[in-house]
Chain A
């Protein structure tokens, strides 16, 4: 089955620790995205990557880092510098270049930092 997988589904960390969220896709999409969702809020873009070895900051990149070493994978690290890391994190992918850029989402990772 083609799709996007995110692991783990739930993640618990102590304040001050870095944590890495996994995102893998087998849709052969060029572009991948990370969003954050808080209760009662719309999704907000953290980072995006349109091609391997290149990525750009989104609207709320502070306290986060990413890498894109493979087309299929776009891990997100939540660093200790992120002031309010507890949230629901969603990864998405799409074709890039010309086209519709229709985005497909993974099931999400709920991160709780105490």
Chain B
């Protein structure tokens, strides 16, 4: 059974710091991995998606890497800003027939960036 773990559960950093959020998964047979952002009481915003054949994806100050064989992904945020404060969720999708869209989520990392 696939399990997704995110460490740390919470992180507080000063503005401007570069930071790394970690995600690990137990079964390497994944179709893709998505990183999401969730603001309090809101829905999820997709940040980055990495296909199982890819090693990394970049969007602006965000860079996500994937090491499928070791079951790990990292989300790197450069030059953090107070507006980055949110909960970041990692999710992997199963890689078997008809279920590629079904995501299994970690519990998230709650990030606070202090001015």
User: Which of these, A40, A92, A101, contacts B32 with CB under 8 Å?
Assistant: A101
Q: Is the CB of B49 within 8 A of A43?
A: no
Q: Is the CB of A103 within 8 A of B34?
A: yes
Q: Is the CB of B101 within 8 A of A43?
A: no
Stretch binding the partner chain, chosen from A13-21, A74-82, A106-114:
A106-114
Q: Is the CB of A104 within 8 A of B46?
A: yes
User: Which of these, B89, B93, B98, contacts A43 with CB under 8 Å?
Assistant: B89
Q: Is the CB of B105 within 8 A of A43?
A: yes
Q: Is the CB of A96 within 8 A of B45?
A: no
The B contact surface, by secondary structure, is strand
CB-defined contacts of B100 to chain A, threshold 8 Å: 96, 101
Whole-angstrom distance from the CB of B38 to the nearest CB of chain A? 9
- Interface size counted on chain B using CB atoms at 8 A: 26
Q: Is the CB of A33 within 8 A of B43?
A: no
- Is A1 engaged at the interface, CB distance under 8 Å to the other chain? no
Q: Is the CB of A107 within 8 A of B42?
A: yes
Q: Is the CB of B41 within 8 A of A101?
A: no
Q: Is the CB of A100 within 8 A of B32?
A: yes
Q: Is the CB of A58 within 8 A of B102?
A: yes
Q: Is the CB of B43 within 8 A of A106?
A: yes
User: Which of these, A31, A48, A58, A102, contacts B46 with CB under 8 Å?
Assistant: A102
Q: Is the CB of B101 within 8 A of A96?
A: yes
A29: nearest chain-B partner, CB-CB = B101
In the assembled complex, 27 residue pairs joining A and B whose CB atoms fall closer than 8 Å, in A order, are: A4-B43, A6-B43, A35-B103, A41-B107, A42-B4, A43-B44, A43-B89, A43-B105, A44-B105, A48-B101, A48-B102, A58-B102, A90-B44, A94-B101, A96-B100, A100-B32, A100-B51, A101-B31, A102-B32, A103-B34, A103-B46, A103-B103, A104-B46, A105-B44, A105-B45, A106-B43, A107-B42
Nearest 4 CB-CB pairs, A to B? A42-B105, A105-B44, A105-B43, A101-B101
Chain B residues in the interface with A (C-beta under 8 A): 4, 31-32, 34, 36, 41-46, 49, 51, 89, 91, 93, 98, 100-108
Chain A residues in the interface with B (C-beta under 8 A): 4, 6, 31, 33, 35, 40-45, 48, 50, 56, 58, 90, 92, 94, 96, 100-108, 110
